[in-house]
Amino acid sequence: MSIARIGILTAGGDCPGLNAVVRAATKHALKNNIEVFGFKNGFDGLVKNQYIILDDKIVSGILTRGGTILGTSNLANPFNYTLPPLASPEEPKDLSSMVLHTLKTNRIDALVAIGGDGTLSMASKFIDMGVKIIGVPKTIDNDLSATDFTFGFDSALAVASEAVDRIHTTAESHHRVMIVETMGRYAGWIALRSCIAGGGDICLIPEIPYNINVVAKAIEDRQRKGKTFSIIVAAEGAVDESGKMAVQKKVEGSTDPIRLGGISGIIAAQIEKMLNVECRVVVLGHLQRGGTPTAFDRWLATRFGAKAVDLILKEDFGNMVALRGTDIVSVPIKEAVSKLKKVDPNGQEVKTALEVGTSFGSPTLG
């Protein structure tokens, strides 16, 4: 069988580099006389048969642009899809077959699915149903063990590090404790690396539950050395040792978790109460997802996109592209998903952070 037409989709939260993958895959495919259908808004476009035909002109100039020209959707899981109100009750079970129908109708020989854990798990199910799929991993949190880095992470890190730099000057001038809250609900990579890169004093991540007394003591230790300010870099998923999920639950119970301050607001209030010090918070939120990708991310995304089409040309389906050292390799999607790469509390990176003086607010570490 020869490949004449492929589909591409981008699903899940947006991420700098998505367009670079789309561009590279499209250019490489077109060079091999393969047509490219860009499905809109993730699997939603496959369900609804909505697409644009990608040609050289459309992908020209998108390399440097954040977001995705295909649109994306966090919700569109065709396996448990909420239908619009007017749909008839028996339809839901057929949604995944609508996807198959779309692929067949448009004679899509293979699919490049760019997305995170959820997207790749869905892709995995469609592979079982006979769809020819190549996966491209996308997680701004860099928490996939199958690949050394995912694109978007470096761009997020650049934003977080620059934020730590900016906050430094204010903290120093005002003798304050400042908290920078980064993304990272389950993995602390953005917080840990931006803390190392920005010279943060305290780093709070999901993998190392903190004790607020240890955090306070770290600040006091600095004060004793004449350092009148401290910088805390906290992942949004940072958890308190005693009753770990309490804070998180409370936040999730609010009408608007992320936007209303998150974990760092709570920590700030605690510190102000415990120590005689002003404490301010910056929640970076969506700033970490948007904007022009860094050179590294554009390079990685381009290599991923080109490799995805390489695998299609070799008809080596069911695989996901991944970075190992400086090589792009392929790994079976089924193996790749669900192996989360978390920060190892006893690993090298935490050790480095401790060695340069960072506290993790943990009674047992450092």
Minimum separation from the CB atom of position 301 to a copy of itself (A): 9
Minimum separation from the CB atom of position 91 to a copy of itself (A): 20
Query: With respect to a copy of itself, which residue has the nearer C-beta, 127 or 195?
Result: 195
Tell me the residue length of the chain: 366
Sheet architecture: strand order including 133-137: 51-53, 35-39, 5-10, 110-115, 133-137, 319-324, 327-332
Active-site annotation holder among 117, 141, 143, 297: 141
CA proximity to 134, closest of 306, 334, 309, 323: 309
Cβ proximity of 259 and 268 under 8 Å = no
Query: With respect to a copy of itself, which residue has the nearer C-beta, 3 or 18?
Result: 18
Q: How many CB atoms lie under 10 A from the CB of residue 128?
A: 10
CA proximity to 288, closest of 10, 16, 7, 4: 16
Sheet architecture: strand order including 230-235: 202-204, 230-235, 177-182, 279-283
Query: With respect to a copy of itself, which residue has the nearer C-beta, 29 or 127?
Result: 29
Which long-range contacts link 104-109 to residues 24+ away (Cβ below 8 Å)? 105/49, 106/5, 106/7, 106/37, 106/49, 106/51, 107/4, 107/5, 108/5, 108/6, 108/7, 108/37, 109/1, 109/3, 109/4, 109/5, 109/6
Q: Which two tokens stand for residue 220?
A: 């006091």
Dihedral sign (CA 128, 131, 135, 141): negative
User: How, if at all, do strands 319-324 and 230-235 pair?
Assistant: unpaired
Query: With respect to a copy of itself, which residue has the nearer C-beta, 241 or 278?
Result: 278
Minimum separation from the CB atom of position 235 to a copy of itself (A): 16
- Provide the CA 313 distance to its chain's centre, in angstroms: 28
SS3 state of residue 283? strand
Minimum separation from the CB atom of position 128 to a copy of itself (A): 29
SS3 state of residue 341? coil
SS3 state of residue 205? strand
Q: How far apart are CA 149 and CA 155, in angstroms?
A: 12
Dihedral sign (CA 191, 192, 196, 197): negative
Query: With respect to a copy of itself, which residue has the nearer C-beta, 19 or 96?
Result: 19
141 part of the active site: yes
Query: With respect to a copy of itself, which residue has the nearer C-beta, 131 or 321?
Result: 321
Query: With respect to a copy of itself, which residue has the nearer C-beta, 96 or 188?
Result: 188
Minimum separation from the CB atom of position 38 to a copy of itself (A): 13
Minimum separation from the CB atom of position 92 to a copy of itself (A): 20
**φ/ψ (deg, to 5) at 67:** 65, -160
CA proximity to 194, closest of 349, 66, 300: 349
CA proximity to 20, closest of 52, 80, 84, 66: 66
Minimum separation from the CB atom of position 2 to a copy of itself (A): 18
Query: With respect to a copy of itself, which residue has the nearer C-beta, 157 or 204?
Result: 157
Minimum separation from the CB atom of position 327 to a copy of itself (A): 6
Return the active site residues: 141
